Amino acid sequence: MEDASLAYQRAQMKLLGENAAVTALVADRIHDLVPQGTPKPYVKIGDDVAMGDPADCLERSVVLSSRIHVYSGAPGKAPAKRIGGAIVDALDGADLDAGPDWRVVEVSYVRSAWFDEPDGLTTHGVIEHRVMLDPA
């Protein structure tokens, strides 16, 4: 059986890469490993924490804390927050296909945080979703 976080990451990448609002802001710059020299803005996915669901004693359900990072070099925080808003709109409550091993039960927005990077030029946003998955 495939790891639940990998199955979700693939579904998340597909959804964001096909979402017109997200790609209008970052083009195809959605990565789990950001290539050296990638121009900003871009999105980094794959920072997930997986936990068993203690309320589910019959299945091997998984709850993910999924974090998406947004990096923008445009002045101010507004451009990065627009990207974040498009990501939240795309993922919150989305019906995702996680492949043959897992079924995405729920994707719910938890929080966002916005920071200035030490270079003084880059805004870094972190968007967190709670994701529930059940074995298919």
Question: How many domains in the chain?
Answer: 1
CB 21 within 8 A of CB 89: yes
Q: In what order do the strands lie in the sheet with 42-52?
A: 30-31, 42-52, 62-72, 123-135, 102-116
CATH assignment of the domain containing 128: 3.30.2000.30
Dump pLDDT digits (tens) for 17-32.
999 999 999 999 999 9
Tell me which residue range forms the domain holding 56.
4-32+39-135
> What CA–CA distance (Å, rounded) separates 9 from 99?
11
pLDDT in tens, 71-105: 999 999 999 999 999 999 999 999 999 999 999 99
pTM higher than 0.75: yes
**Cα–Cα distance measured from residue 133 to residue 2, given in angstroms and rounded to the nearest whole number:** 12
Please name which of 120, 52, 125, 32 lies closest in space to residue 83, comparing C-alpha atoms. Answer: 125
